[in-house]
Structure formats: structure tokens, C-alpha cells
Amino acid sequence: MKKVLKYSAITALSFLALASCEEIENYQTTIDAAPKLVYLNLKGSNTVEGKILHEKGTGTSSDFSAAFKVCSTVASNKGYSVNVSVDNSLIAPYNEVHKTSYEPMPSANIDLQNTSMEIAAGDIATPEEVKITLKGDLSVLNDENGYLIPITVKSSNAATSESRGTVYAVIIPETKLIKSIKSAEEVSGSLVENRSSWSADCNDGASLFDGDIYSGAFFNSSGNVLTVNLAGKHSVTGLKLNTFKLNNVGVEFSLDGVSWKSAGTAAPGDTYFSTSFDDEPGDCYVAFVGYLEASYIRLTFDYAMDYEYYNMMMEFYIYEETIQNK
């Protein structure tokens, strides 16, 4: 009778522990049942993402951090010893499956904490989370393909889940060429007036270059992508967009419309808008550090207001630097 009560109590504890550790579908939760698997509990995904941001004149920073517990599919009377580590041997198969070209993150730049822990008897989760951030000199991490950190769990008394035993951290470097401005006068170069041969890949795209601020192209409230063909190479120092107020303006540039480079995404306050009201059209100015050699400009952007009438762009201009012997 005492044994029955003992195992009933442990079973009850294991079900309570489920509240703190996401259950994988079809896994059993009976004490010492099979299969005994350990996994990393990322709650719905096994991928985390982050950026390394290089800003000229400012430095390099990263927004990447992740934390997750190690879990088991079933509780055990003896508990589990678990170890977490980076396994770069998984990068090549990941790249092959996902058609990517990620590079391994240098070990000197990985800060992985709580790598050896215990899942207590009758429990199904570690008391602490595995934590990962970046450290060291990040300024040298500029591979455009990005970096991959495969983080895998192993245990001496349980197998590793094939589907959830590894967390993949994808880190993408971005060089921000957008500079923060407080006025239109801070945009260098000259405004290009002759836009008759330009085109845009949106409905009513020609209206963006006709000089008429009472006509334009309508967009969605968010998630917009606009590609402009500048009909030749330009040394672009900035943009002037006659539009309603924009958020999250991202800029890419290309010489052939196939291979693209990123100029980054404007942080709040980086762009200058000529009016302070979201429901009034005005001129949005975006300035670049130096200039972008571009025959194509691709914008991503959201509108400040979620209403069709205010999701309109009327004119698209560039500023251009005069380069000798260009």
C-alpha cells in the first residue's frame, strides 16, 4: 500500500510539472515509461533568430538572446543528468535541407550558460533555463550568409529527441547605412528631378514619378515591399518620399535587380517627416552614410495608420551625390 501511495504521489508531481514544460504531442507521461527522451523546450519552434548590427561611426551591437528549459518526455524515479553544448557538425545538414549557407559562429563569441543541469526525480524539467547570448568582439562578424549555432542536449540515461533535441540559433549581420537626421537639410547631394524613365512594381507605379502630389499608389497598412528601377546607376545619398507617415522603413539596393545589399532598417527617429500628424501627407526623408551605388532601390515599410486612405505614397525621389568620373 505504501508503494502504491509513493508512486501515485510521484505521478501526481509529474503531471503538475507538465504545466511548466510544454508537452510534445503523443509522448507518454507515465513514471519511467518509454520512450525516455530529453528535449529543449522552445514552445512551438526549434529556431531562434537575432541580428548583429554594424553602424558606421557608432559601433556594433546585437539583439540576440534566448532562454529555454531542458525537458523530459517522462518523469523518472532517478531523475536525469543533462548536458547542453554547441554541435557544429549539424550546420552542413541544416544548410542542405534549408538551402542556406550559414557559417559556424566562432566559439569566442558564444556565451552559453547552465550547460550541465539535473532534472529531479519525479520532475520533467530543469529548474533553470539554458541561456545563450553573444559576447566578445562582434565587429568582425560580417559574413552576409549569416551564422548558425546548433545547441544540442544529451543525457546519460535518456535518448535525445530527434525533432526537438536541438535548438538552431540563426544570427544575421546587418550593416546599417541609414543615418539619423532631424531635418531635410541633413540629406546630402542634389534632388534628382528627371524621373521619366523610372518604374515601380506596384499598381499605379508611374504616379510615383509624375510630380503630382494628388495622385499616387495605395499600399497595405503593413508588410509593404516596393522595388523602384532607377534606369541606370546612381550614387544615392538619400530618399524623399511624399507619403503619409511611415514606420519600419527598410532599404535594400542593387545594381542588377538580382543581387541585393541591405542598408538596414530605420530605427524610430532616424527618418525626418515634414509633418507631425499621422493623418496628413508630408515628405519623409531618409539619409545614408556616404552613398549607395544603386540602379534599383527596394523599400519595406509600414504605415502609421491602419486605414486605406492614409496608406498612400504620392512621389518617390532620390538624392544623388555628384561623383567625378563616375
66-106: pLDDT as tens digits: 999 999 999 999 999 999 999 999 999 999 999 999 999 99
Residues of the chain with CATH 2.60.120.260: 178-320
Q: 206's torsion region: left (phi>0), alpha (psi -120 to 50) or beta?
A: alpha
pLDDT of residue 56: 77
pLDDT of residue 310: 92
168-182 pLDDT, tens per residue? 999 999 889 999 999
Are 90 and 105 in contact by the 8 Å Cβ rule? The answer is no
- Is CATH 2.60.120.260 correct for 178-320? yes
Residues of the chain with CATH 2.60.40.1510: 2-176
Chain centroid offset of residue 166 CA: 20
Beta bridge partners of 168: 47, 150
- Is CATH 2.60.40.1510 correct for 2-176? yes
Nearest residue to 184 via CA among 240, 136, 135: 240
Across 177-200, average pLDDT: 96
By residue count, the chain amounts to 326
Kindly report the pTM of this predicted structure.
0.69
In Å, what is the CA distance from 11 to each residue of 6, 30, 36, 39, 71?
Answer: 9, 7, 15, 20, 16
262-304 pLDDT, tens per residue? 999 998 899 999 998 888 999 999 999 999 999 999 999 999 9
